[in-house]
Structure 1
Amino acid sequence: MSDTAPRPSAARTPRGRTLRRLLRSPLGLLSTAVLVLIVAAVLLAPLLAPQSADASNLRDAFAGPSGGHLLGFDSAGRDVLSRLLYGGQNTLGGALIALGVALVLGVPTGLVAGYRGGWLDGLGNWAANLVMSLPAMVVLLASRAVLGPTVWVLMVVLGFLVAPNFFRLVRGIVAQVRGELYVDAARVSGLRDSRIMARHVLIRVRGPVIIQVALVAGIAIGLQAGLEFLGIGSSDGATWGDMLNEAFQNLQRDPELMLWPGLALALTSAALVLLAAALRDALEDRAREPAAPRPATRDSAADTGTTAVTATTAAVTDAPSDTAAPQAERSGLLSVRGLRVGYAQSDGRVHDVVHGVDLDVHEGEIVGLVGESGSGKTQTAFSVLGILPEGGRVTGGSVLVQGKEVVGLGERGHRMLRGGVVAYVPQEPMSNLDPNFTVGSQLVEPMRCTLGLSRREATQRALDLLRQVEIPDPPRAFRAWPHEISGGMAQRVLIAGAMSLEPQLLIADEPTTALDVRVQAEVLDLLRKLQEERRIGVLLVTHNMGVVADLCDRVAVMREGSIVETGRTEQVLHRPQHPYTRTLLDAVLDQVPARSPWQSRKVDVA
């Protein structure tokens, strides 16, 4: 029998857990009950109201409660309960219109501006600042004079005026989230930007947006009631504000008329705020779950690559003659020639952190790119993948992947290569798994979007991959959340994800750095096994010469953004030519003879 992932019950799904947390909270339960009661009563007004909201009989003016008229009558002999119920339809409906306009205008634009940055971000901020500088009450009064007193029109205008609040809130959060490593992992897996924003980014703004929704809804209800209370709102149909206006005019005669619309406004606004807070807490609650490690952001990678680079071309001059392959030789999976990577500085200049790198990876071989932190290894790998941090760009050179030039390639072109042609295994495995989704979900989604598999097919393939990377209980790992698995298992999950689209070139960036020695050995054995079975090319970015000795066919040594020595692993480890290589060997291996990869596996070193 094949392993399958059992379908979780409703109580075990994220929605089911959220609902349980919400109803366990006293404030959440109370506010939900109050709001549901108010909305249900308003929607069922035709069934619950004793009569029409505008039906009046002057003989009943100011009459108290009686059979069938629980709240009595107002100054025009209209039933107070009927006007309260029908008035709620107009008041809540108007607030819903304002809220809908604000959400439609503010959230998508904030999402795109925060994720894309650049001129879109600048244009969005300019427009938001312009709208926010307008005096809301003056604009509403002017709109009433031009467009008429219809409450629906005024609520559309109000929605337009408060949309910048959603824009700025969402934009600020997304600008931070876009640098998370799991967002880069989703990009490298081949997911479209629109899918990444909807799946991995939008979920991070839901809590603040929920709170903002409650606040804006309360403002819309209060502002609409205020306009009606002042007598400058719509005269069509009952509203709670209109009821307040009528009650205030007859305050000396029957002060109780102020109670019911005021109570309805207060209860609705309070219930909205309390429910939003409880729902936000229920969605974001991790009190009963082990906390996931705080994800690092891609900016840290940029810091690594830009650390005090003072390299000069002398490093290349000192290198032996076999440092780079001949320029004419451009065969293989990956061919890098003269690669330069720079970052824009505050004074407008571009500071290069990678200087003229030449590198080749052929089918069926593992090439180690080794050097100390800040040498530019990760920046070189990111250039191949097209995921350089913000501000970084390729300033020169050529990068061919399967003969296709990727320098200057747009995001769509890079996405066509990622996953299916070039896959990526990052360092810090826990930071590259989105804590908001299960392990299985993060494996299934790229296969569904890129390969067009059904959910059932992608699930079975994910289980097979988990088995191939030697995870003991694939169905259990499939259902687990990232915080429920170990670092070694998380790294295996990332390797499974990288292998899921059958890539031909694998870039592994420090895949064992965050693991203990025993797990490191297991992951290295797994990488070697998968590479031999699938005959893929591997670019292994590492600072560990022991890993190079154990795994690599060839090695390139990088220092301060330049390649200073390349060669067969045997030659570089046993007969290093460059003083920096000898320094690395002395520091890392501590005079211990290097293991030769041909001692542990059959490799043609001729």
Structure 2
Amino acid sequence: MSVLPLDAADEVAPEPAAPTARRRGMPWFLRRPGGLLGAAWLVLIVVASFTAPLWRPYRVDDQDLAHRLALPSGAHLLGTDPLGRDLLSRVVTAGAEPLLASFVTVVVAFGIGLPLALIAAERGRRVERVLSRSTEVMLALPLVIILLAVIGVIGAQTYVVMAVLGVLISAAVYRIMLGVAQSVRQRLYIDAARVNGIGSLKVNLVHVLPSMATVAAVQAAQLFGIGLLINAGLAFLGFGPGEPQPSWGFMIQDASKHIYDDPWLLVPSGLALALTVVAANELADALAHRAAGERTVARRRPGRTPASPADGAPSASAVLEVRGLTVAVDGGPTLVSDVSFSLGAGRVLGLVGESGCGKTMTARSLLGLLPDGVSVSGGAILWRGRDLVGLSERELNAVRGQEIAMISQEPMVALDPMFSIAYQLTQPLRRFRGLSRTEARSTAVELLEQVGIVDPARVLKSFPHQLSGGMAQRVAIALALTGRPKLLIADEPTTALDVTVQAEILTLLRDLVREIDLSIVIVSHDLGVVADLCDDVAVMYAGEVVESGTAAAVLDEPAHPYTMALLRANPHVPEGAAVPVRLASIAGAVPPPGSWPSGCRFASRCRFARDECRKPFPALPAHGSGSVRCIRVDELQREQVTWDADAVGAELETGAGVPA
């Protein structure tokens, strides 16, 4: 029987309607109430101010002396000032100049500060030092005194004065954006772009600036509000537009004279200024929190599916129980669904699968370190009987480092380049263990010796960039051990290392498991690493566990076609075994979240798939205490079917179907 093509209707399961679906067409910063209201007010005040001459009920200098200091009425919706002039007409007309002047300040400040930050981040330490010292001098200058001196020379020319303000504030913009630019330029894709021959200007425009956009937008919104206040303050002091041209600052100053006999006079102009500044800051806050709002790490959402009663209590031998774990984008697709596994004390569990299968998301959820806008929406993570899902940041911080620690796949990301190794090791030792400075340094030496560093005194004095990859990974492991954790999450800990160093790191992890009874969850693509280090294995595909069990059982007798294919594609050939003519390959790619089929998610790539594989079915028991998601498992094992590389090659060459 040939493998039948999947019908599109069968392949993609319909997603349940999200509560925020009606908002998905909106920009992400408008999905927060504060951002939406702030943007609405700013649009309203800008449109009203710049179109005021077309619709205002009175001219700004029209006087009605018979109705001086009048309260709101049908003739004057916001009342009148001491000369009987209409407050509504004056307030909306006065908004155009401070809004435009504040915009000039933002443009000048970012027009100077942002390019300088990009240049300093790109050109290196010498250029950065010169620019930083220069901006520090600018930050030390008395801003208000300089503005008053400029006014004394050129007069109250609002736009020129606000442009000078932008020049002075550009130093602060530079300092903020420099840190962001330096962080972005350390990412691997920046180096890849440079290696590919992309010029400096294009790297900045295409790669660096988009990554800085959120921070820049937040700072611009806040600076806009500051510009409004400074502009109003200068006008309050008498350095604004002359009469009869209105300004918010002068109107507030005029109203302050009548605070006792007519307090309402302060309300229209003061409220217009206050709401505009608050709206700018609310918009900045919304920009800072991205699409899903403020980051909530591994929190329970109202629609979270609870773990079943059977899953609520951990087994007697397990220190970690994950039951029905589901991770999803808030208001978006599911990334990991119904993942379950357990881990005993002193054992090593391997999460295996291709990129995009949900391994890292699963591992990071154990520590509550999911990205912004992603959270646990179902299931339970039981650590020593305590459910970590739904804990606050403060409660999770008591677990992180001291009970559960993590090793990154890239040690240079885990180590701060600004501080020495001694500082980075002694600080958590003093925090976690309450040691003195001398005791912490002595313990840091012991930790470095424990992870196999032969010259710990020299390494302590070094900075991360002075270490090799293997040495940095050993330091990262020592850093993870500072809190005496009982569980270590290792995300591809040997990916960036050469073969010899990989073997040393694996030996080190094995020794740690044996010596301090450490449990480890290791994420890896390398089945050789899994076979060498792991006691248990969970094979993941498209966000779910397709096969689990002890490492010996899963690797020696794989039950799921995906596991078979991974093993046949493994380039490591056991000693004494025949070298295959060609390695097996798996056609196609892992389906992205939101496009998972309703049945077996591997069916579209499986040589053994049938029509019944495309319908939902539960996981079946396998390998004793493990499981497998394949309804043909008994049939395939009975026929001793394997993922044959030669058969796959023949199929690709002839175009013939592969027998099921």
Q: Counterparts of 2:314 and 2:576 in 1: how far apart (Å)?
A: 30
The aligned counterpart of 2:20 is none
The aligned counterpart of 1:222 is 146
Secondary structure at the counterpart of residue 369 of structure 1 = strand
Within the alignment, does 1:432 sit opposite 2:414 as a pair? yes
Change in Cα spacing, 1:594 to 1:227, as seen in structure 2 (3 Å) is farther
Q: Contact conserved, 1:426 with 1:511, CA < 8 A, in 2?
A: yes
Alpha-carbon displacement from aligned partner over 1:461-511 (angstroms, at most 9, x marks no partner)? 111111111112111111111110001011000100111110011111110
The percent identity for this pair of structures is 42
Within the alignment, does 1:569 sit opposite 2:514 as a pair? no
Q: Contact conserved, 1:292 with 1:482, CA < 8 A, in 2?
A: no
The aligned counterpart of 1:72 is none
The aligned counterpart of 2:379 is 397
Shift of 1:571: 0.8
2:366 to 380, 384, 387: 384
Secondary structure at the counterpart of residue 417 of structure 1 = coil
Shift of 1:452: 2.8
2:135 to 196, 211, 219: 211
The aligned counterpart of 1:543 is 525
Shift of 1:591: 5.4
Q: Counterparts of 1:492 and 1:125 in 2: how far apart (Å)?
A: 49
> Of Structure 1 and Structure 2, which has the larger fraction of its residues in helix?
1
Q: Contact conserved, 1:292 with 1:483, CA < 8 A, in 2?
A: no
2:319 to 333, 341, 350: 333
Q: Contact conserved, 1:295 with 1:431, CA < 8 A, in 2?
A: no
Q: Contact conserved, 1:211 with 1:280, CA < 8 A, in 2?
A: no
Supply the RMSD in Å over aligned alpha carbons. 5.2
Change in Cα spacing, 1:221 to 1:447, as seen in structure 2 (3 Å) is same
Change in Cα spacing, 1:492 to 1:577, as seen in structure 2 (3 Å) is same
Within the alignment, does 1:500 sit opposite 2:486 as a pair? no
Superposed counterparts of 1:151-162, under 5 Å? none
Q: Counterparts of 1:567 and 1:467 in 2: how far apart (Å)?
A: 35
Q: Contact conserved, 2:422 with 2:444, CA < 8 A, in 1?
A: yes
Change in Cα spacing, 1:279 to 1:399, as seen in structure 2 (3 Å) is closer
Change in Cα spacing, 1:209 to 1:561, as seen in structure 2 (3 Å) is farther
Q: Counterparts of 2:372 and 2:340 in 1: how far apart (Å)?
A: 24
Shift of 1:428: 0.9
Change in Cα spacing, 1:438 to 1:227, as seen in structure 2 (3 Å) is same
Secondary structure at the counterpart of residue 333 of structure 2 = strand
Within the alignment, does 1:342 sit opposite 2:335 as a pair? no
The aligned counterpart of 1:366 is 348
Q: Counterparts of 2:431 and 2:41 in 1: how far apart (Å)?
A: 34
Q: Counterparts of 1:522 and 1:564 in 2: how far apart (Å)?
A: 31
The aligned counterpart of 2:567 is 585
Within the alignment, does 1:412 sit opposite 2:412 as a pair? no
Q: Contact conserved, 2:365 with 2:376, CA < 8 A, in 1?
A: yes
TM-score scaled by length of structure 2: 0.46
Shift of 1:275: 11
Q: Contact conserved, 1:356 with 1:562, CA < 8 A, in 2?
A: yes
More off after superposition, 442-451 vs 494-503? 442-451
Q: Counterparts of 1:295 and 1:564 in 2: how far apart (Å)?
A: 32
Shift of 1:282: 13
Shift of 1:438: 1.2
Q: Contact conserved, 2:351 with 2:539, CA < 8 A, in 1?
A: yes
Secondary structure at the counterpart of residue 398 of structure 2 = helix
Superposed counterparts of 1:49-448, under 5 Å? 122=35, 211=135, 214=138, 217=141, 220-229=144-153, 329-331=314-316, 332-344=318-330, 348=331, 350-448=332-430
Within the alignment, does 1:528 sit opposite 2:528 as a pair? no
Alpha-carbon displacement from aligned partner over 1:426-445 (angstroms, at most 9, x marks no partner)? 10111221111111211122
The aligned counterpart of 1:454 is 436
Q: Contact conserved, 1:504 with 1:536, CA < 8 A, in 2?
A: yes
Secondary structure at the counterpart of residue 333 of structure 1 = strand
Shift of 1:220: 3.5
Change in Cα spacing, 1:465 to 1:585, as seen in structure 2 (3 Å) is same
Secondary structure at the counterpart of residue 385 of structure 1 = coil
Q: Counterparts of 1:434 and 1:459 in 2: how far apart (Å)?
A: 18
Shift of 1:330: 3.6
Q: Counterparts of 1:393 and 1:486 in 2: how far apart (Å)?
A: 35
Q: Which amino acid aligns with 2:146?
A: G
Within the alignment, does 1:473 sit opposite 2:397 as a pair? no
TM-score scaled by length of structure 1: 0.50
More off after superposition, 453-462 vs 540-549? 453-462
Change in Cα spacing, 1:435 to 1:120, as seen in structure 2 (3 Å) is farther
Change in Cα spacing, 1:127 to 1:534, as seen in structure 2 (3 Å) is farther
Q: Which amino acid aligns with 1:333?
A: V
Change in Cα spacing, 1:221 to 1:122, as seen in structure 2 (3 Å) is same
Secondary structure at the counterpart of residue 588 of structure 1 = coil
Change in Cα spacing, 1:338 to 1:594, as seen in structure 2 (3 Å) is farther
Q: Which amino acid aligns with 1:499?
A: L
Alpha-carbon displacement from aligned partner over 1:500-528 (angstroms, at most 9, x marks no partner)? 11001111111000100000000000011
Change in Cα spacing, 1:503 to 1:205, as seen in structure 2 (3 Å) is farther
Change in Cα spacing, 1:490 to 1:592, as seen in structure 2 (3 Å) is same
Within the alignment, does 1:515 sit opposite 2:503 as a pair? no
Gaps of 5+ in 2: 1-29, 50-101, 115-127, 157-163, 191-206, 212-309, 578-624, 626-660
Change in Cα spacing, 1:468 to 1:274, as seen in structure 2 (3 Å) is same
Alpha-carbon displacement from aligned partner over 1:119-165 (angstroms, at most 9, x marks no partner)? 699599879989x98x9xxxxxxxxxxxxxxxxxxxxxxxxx89x96
Shift of 1:531: 1.2
Change in Cα spacing, 1:422 to 1:276, as seen in structure 2 (3 Å) is closer
Q: Counterparts of 2:179 and 2:560 in 1: how far apart (Å)?
A: 56
The aligned counterpart of 2:541 is 559
Secondary structure at the counterpart of residue 409 of structure 1 = coil
Q: Counterparts of 1:578 and 1:474 in 2: how far apart (Å)?
A: 46
Secondary structure at the counterpart of residue 522 of structure 2 = strand
Shift of 1:533: 0.5
